């Protein structure tokens, strides 16, 4: 099927949602990747627990809008990705978030009790029949990249850009390795991490 190679940059084909504004600090990495590839996305807050009716409304809306992928991030008991997947046939990529509350006045209460394992298991352990593809804890950038790969099945132009992205990664590792070889590990580390 023929697709205008740039149609992914005009109309949002990807919906990014998150359970709380506090998730935006992590979720924005998915947006950064999509922006890098010139992919238009629409971003919203939908809470599975605080706005349960909005969740089913959003699933209908996403289908009406013709979204091809939904990236959903949530922390703690993290029902958002799974519940959205239950309401739609659109593929859902879940981002488990390690809840971090910067307003807590003690370090002890800044992080969720299970450090992201709670959300990882809530999102990945969906029952057979209602899958959510799950990335690592706080790995929103990977969710963005995976969404680009899904769109790449339809847009040859994106497949080319993904190839280029891989090439750049390769070159950047070689460059760092050359520097490490030249400086030696001790100097390399203190330069890189400014010890
Ligand atoms: C979840 O509860 C959200 O996805 C968020 O990660 C977590 C904490 O939310 P806030 O209390 O910061 O709004 O539903």
Residue of minimum CA distance from atom 5 in ligand 1: 75
From first to last of its 195 residues, what are the pLDDT tens digits of the chain?
Answer: 545 656 999 999 999 999 999 999 999 999 999 999 999 999 999 999 999 999 999 999 999 999 999 999 999 999 999 999 999 999 999 999 998 777 777 777 777 889 899 999 999 999 999 999 999 999 999 999 999 999 999 999 999 999 999 999 999 999 999 999 999 999 999 999 886
Ligand 1 binding pocket (C-beta < 6 A) is 19-20, 22-23, 47, 49, 74-76, 97, 99
pLDDT of residue 5: 57
Question: Atom 3 in ligand 1: which residue has the minimum CA distance?
Answer: 19
Specify the pLDDT at position 168.
Answer: 97
Q: What pLDDT score does 195 carry?
A: 61
Predicted local confidence at residue 2, as pLDDT: 47
Name all contacts of 146-152 with Cβ < 8 Å and 24+ positions apart. 146/93, 147/14, 147/30, 147/34, 147/39, 147/69, 147/71, 147/93, 148/33, 148/34, 148/37, 148/39, 150/68, 150/69, 150/91, 151/8, 151/13, 151/14, 151/39, 151/68, 151/69
Atom of ligand 1 nearest to the CA of 73: 4
> Per DSSP, what are the bridge partners of residue 60?
none
pLDDT value, residue 135: 98
């Amino acid at each position: 099927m023929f697709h205008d190679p740039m149609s992914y940059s005009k109309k949002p084909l990807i919906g990014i949602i998150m359970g709380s504004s506090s998730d935006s600090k992590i979720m924005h990495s998915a947006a950064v990747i999509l922006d890098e590839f010139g992919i238009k996305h629409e971003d919203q807050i939908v809470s599975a627990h605080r706005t349960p009716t909005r969740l089913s409304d959003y699933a209908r809306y996403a289908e009406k809008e013709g979204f091809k992928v939904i990236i959903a991030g949530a922390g703690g008991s993290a029902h958002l990705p799974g519940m959205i997947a239950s309401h739609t046939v659109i593929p859902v990529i879940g981002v488990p978030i390690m809840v971090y509350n910067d307003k807590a006045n003690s370090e002890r209460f800044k992080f969720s009790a299970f450090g992201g394992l709670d959300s990882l298991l809530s999102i990945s352990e969906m029952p057979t029949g209602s899958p959510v593809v799950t990335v690592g804890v706080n790995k929103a950038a990977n969710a963005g990249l995976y969404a680009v790969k899904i769109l790449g099945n339809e847009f040859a132009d994106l497949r080319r850009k993904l190839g280029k992205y891989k090439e750049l990664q390769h070159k950047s590792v070689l460059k760092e390795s050359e520097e490490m070889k030249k400086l030696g590990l001790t100097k390399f580390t203190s330069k890189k991490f400014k010890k």
